[in-house]
Structure 1
Amino acid sequence: MMDEILMRYLDAGQVVVSNLLLYNYRDLGLDESEFILILQLLSRDQQGKTVDLNEISQAMHLQDSQLGEVLRGLLEKKILRLVTKTDAAGKKYDKYDLSLLYAKLFKFQNELQEKQVAKQAQTDAKSVYQGIEVEFGRPLSPMELQTIDLWLNTEKYPPELILLALKEAVLNQVYNLKYIDRILLSWEKQNIKTSADVLRNQQKRRHAFENTERPKERGNRAKPSIPMYDWSKDD
């Protein structure tokens, strides 16, 4: 008995539906009846079957008039469209096209991603303002806020890069934005754009420092963990 049921289950086939649609159909403006109808259409399309609305209405336990209302709703929402196709024998037939649904789903995902990117950008920018205020030990002046806004929105410096420049300034015990700006300009000239670029630059400076230090001096004093660089003398 179980073997027979399993064979029926396998013979019935399966409908493939993206999780993007499964998880977001409500955000696309679909209700449950509309979503189930889409699954019914997808099932027949993937099996290469002709759409039989009477068969679908029976499967969904809907009267023909009720199914017609659901179908009209999908057409009005521009989720579905009816197109005319021609088979191999030259006979014309109607087909329900779901390409509008996919286009709407992709648009929704793009807009969602853009919102997430914008939200992350706001979070990163906030960390820059707060990080500088914490290190400076005081609120930022309107002019300083304008300078930071220029870095973020005009110069397009990545927030992580600004925070690293802040760290360099603090290590040199300099607490003003002009000094940080010189660091950022120097990095820009050297095509330093990421934290990985900064790390490589620091390693390069450390290596140069160690190679130029005299052997005697090298033995008499400990090596600094981070080389100090006077950014005010950078051209």
Structure 2
Amino acid sequence: MKKETLIEWFEQGTVSIPKLLFNHYSDLGMNETEFMTLMHIYVSIEGGEGFPTPNELAAKMSISSAVCMDTLRALIQRGFLSIEQDQQQNALICERYSLKPLWEKLIHHMMQETREVEKSEEEQEELNLYTMFEKEFGRALSPFECETLAMWIDQDHHDPIIIKAALRESVMSGKLNFRYIDRILFEWKKNGIQTIDQARKHSQKFRQNQQPKKLSSVNPSQSTSAIPFFNWLEQ
């Protein structure tokens, strides 16, 4: 074999095909014949041939020209492939295949899949939120409490992380009830609190301005300890 032949092979270049397409073509509703037909069209377009014939495509695969023709027709009808027209400088109009519909379908699929994952994560986060509340309250939540919790998320658009922080704040303040937590969330939203760090700093700021309450030690010989306290209901 001549060296020039080997060089000619290498100079044919390579084709880069998105890995996402390999992993999800079946999810898009394509079979292997349809997928390979599109890939051969892709290779032809990359090589400067935008409108390969069914005979040319079939010659590169293990299907007949008739099957290739039917496959191309199905891909166009199902929105995976389109035919566009280009006007050349000599005023001639030529046709070429376009894979834009394929990429649009792939992008739509990936975006929908991402939304479904995000929705699943949000639902799990809300479930964990209910579980956390029931653990702190030491009982199952009442229908009214469940509705209040849902309103905080759906209507007031409080992040579950912020709701958990408000729950911890109510526990620290010794005011474990929904009215108190609702007031905390109201104050935080009014002051633009959106992160755990902001909530922590906001609480510390107000606690520093409060008179600490003294807790008597069980053992008289021990000194009393001061616990900063901020009553959100008094704001």
The answer to whether structure 1 residue 20 and structure 2 residue 20 are counterparts is yes
The alignment covers a number of residue pairs equal to 224
Displacement after TM superposition at 1:152 (Å): 0.8
Q: Determine the C-alpha separation between the residues in 2 that align with 1:145 and 1:159.
A: 14
1:108 matched to which residue of 2?
Answer: 109
Q: Determine the C-alpha separation between the residues in 2 that align with 1:138 and 1:8.
A: 76
Displacement after TM superposition at 1:84 (Å): 2.1
2:120 matched to which residue of 1?
Answer: 119
* Structure 1 SS opposite 2:48: coil
Higher RCO (Cα < 8 Å, 6 or more apart): 1
Displacement after TM superposition at 1:96 (Å): 1.0
1:48 matched to which residue of 2?
Answer: 48
Q: What root-mean-square deviation, in Å, do the aligned CA atoms of Structure 1 and Structure 2 show?
A: 2.6
* Structure 1 SS opposite 2:229: coil
The answer to whether structure 1 residue 34 and structure 2 residue 34 are counterparts is yes
1:68 to 1:155, Cα distance in 2 relative to 1, 3 A: same
1:58 matched to which residue of 2?
Answer: 59
Gaps of 5+ in 1: 214-219
Paired residue type of 1:37: T
Greater fraction helix: 1
Paired residue type of 2:98: D
TM-score (norm 2): 0.85
1:58 to 1:165, Cα distance in 2 relative to 1, 3 A: same
Displacement after TM superposition at 1:156 (Å): 0.8
Provide Cα deviations, 1:133-154, integer angstroms capped at 9, x if missing partner: 0000000011111111110111
Provide Cα deviations, 1:96-129, integer angstroms capped at 9, x if missing partner: 1111112211221221122122111111111111
2:161 matched to which residue of 1?
Answer: 160
Displacement after TM superposition at 1:50 (Å): 4.0
Q: Determine the C-alpha separation between the residues in 2 that align with 1:71 and 1:189.
A: 59
2:219 matched to which residue of 1?
Answer: none
1:26 to 1:221, Cα distance in 2 relative to 1, 3 A: same
Q: Determine the C-alpha separation between the residues in 1 that align with 2:172 and 2:19.
A: 49
1:217 matched to which residue of 2?
Answer: none
Provide Cα deviations, 1:177-196, integer angstroms capped at 9, x if missing partner: 11111111111111101223
The answer to whether structure 1 residue 149 and structure 2 residue 144 are counterparts is no
Paired residue type of 1:21: L
Q: Determine the C-alpha separation between the residues in 2 that align with 1:3 and 1:202.
A: 77
Paired residue type of 2:39: L
Q: Determine the C-alpha separation between the residues in 1 that align with 2:2 and 2:23.
A: 32
Paired residue type of 2:140: P
1:28 to 1:230, Cα distance in 2 relative to 1, 3 A: same
Q: Give me the identity figure in percent.
A: 27
Gaps of 5+ in 2: 213-222
Displacement after TM superposition at 1:202 (Å): 4.1
